[in-house]
Amino acid sequence: MYYLNVISAVLTFATSSAVSQTAGGGGGSGCKFAGVNIAGFDFGRDSAGPTNGAEQMAHFVNDDKQNIFRLPVEWDYVTDTSGGPLNQAKFQKYDQLMQACLQFGAYCILDIHSYARYNLDGTNGAVVGQGGPPISDLVNTWTQLAKFYASQEKVVMAIMNEPHDLDVNIWSQTVQQCVTAIRQAGATSQMILLPGSSWASAGDFFGGGGGDLLMQVTNPGGGTENLIFDFHNYFNAPGSSNPECINNGITNAWQPPLETLRSAKRQAMITELGGGGTAQSCLTNVCAGLDFLNQNSDVYLGWTAWSAGAFDASYVMSVLDASGNDVPLMKQCFVAKSYGGGSPGTITPTNGTSSGSPGSPQGNSSTGGYLPPPSYVQRTRFARRRS
């Protein structure tokens, strides 16, 4: 039943006449991409993942016309040791979600959600290449992932979620080695997202984030085609359990790196941004921030809102309510401001899978949310200052 529901949703979108342009083309001056995080495989190495993730994506594609999804996964979920082979049983579960995303014709971000660490505790553990696992271990993981998805042009490879408290010189070398490995593994043209330190803060990118060093990261041939910077910003007060929003992202996040990126003809994607789902302060601030991104879409390619997936509806930044419907912030800002209020273009579903892919999505069709353990919430969403 789950599989049939997913295929039905894909076919529904394929025959829809609501959109008419090329995928990612964007309407007018708006951003090219708009979508949502589908969290769950970042909830620990034994996570069940987002069991209704494909059904959520069906809603976001069919009803909200979203065209990109970020699929976070912990490094220590897909491998049993930092330098080891992919855990085939666990990776198969993750790939089922990825294949569902690809079948909708959407762009799908493969995000290693581990904060530049392997033994993930969100804020603890030693940094890769800096007292933790050697850089070659992360390179090995990305080589395996890139080989697996090399034929999938719409798989976007996000090297690491929210690096922090590290030596940016060594981190930039780590990123360079990962980029080189991904390209040499056969993923020669896909977008790769490059994160700075300071929790990928947009506002700190050219400060403590090491953006000047990441600007020097290149493809093996020396160019920077499809090397996109990975930015985050939260609109609510420090400590993301606060439902009220206190900034619109413009002066503290989007403006600081804008002109430097524009003059260098470089681009960024906002892969995490969010706030309280019903607060008027968030409706006002988030909508204003998205307007600014749309007005500067030559630099800002788009966004993936935080979050859907395995979060329970009680989670303050859930974009879905208990009935699976969009909360006001999702409907009035993230959806209404998508593509500058225009069309995402035609998204062509694909039935193809990656070489060696486990195949079509299967799983639990339950629409019930999963409430992650308090330790997870504490370490990843509530306990630290946001930009």
- Would you please indicate which residues are annotated as catalytic (active-site) residues? 162, 272
| C-alpha 210: how far from chain center | 20
Q: Virtual CA dihedral for 48, 49, 54, 58, nearest 10 degrees?
A: 130
Residue 31 near residue 293 (C-beta atoms within 8 A): yes
Number of Cβ within 10 Å of residue 387's Cβ equals 23
C-alpha–C-alpha distance, residues 143 and 125, integer Å: 23
How far is residue 156 from each of residues 72, 152, 281, 372, measured CA to CA in Å?
12, 9, 32, 26
For the four alpha carbons of 347, 351, 352 and 358, in that order, the dihedral sign comes to positive
Place of tokens 């039905």: 8
C-alpha–C-alpha distance, residues 162 and 197, integer Å: 7
Place of tokens 């993750």: 94
Going along the chain, which residue ranges are E strands?
33-39, 68-73, 107-112, 155-158, 192-195, 227-234, 268-274, 300-309
Omega into 307 within 30° of 0, i.e. cis? yes
DSSP 2-68: HHHHHHHHHHHHHT--S--SBTT--STTS-SEEEEEEESBTS-TT----TTHHHHHHHHHHTT---E
Going along 42-138, which residue ranges are E strands?
68-73, 107-112
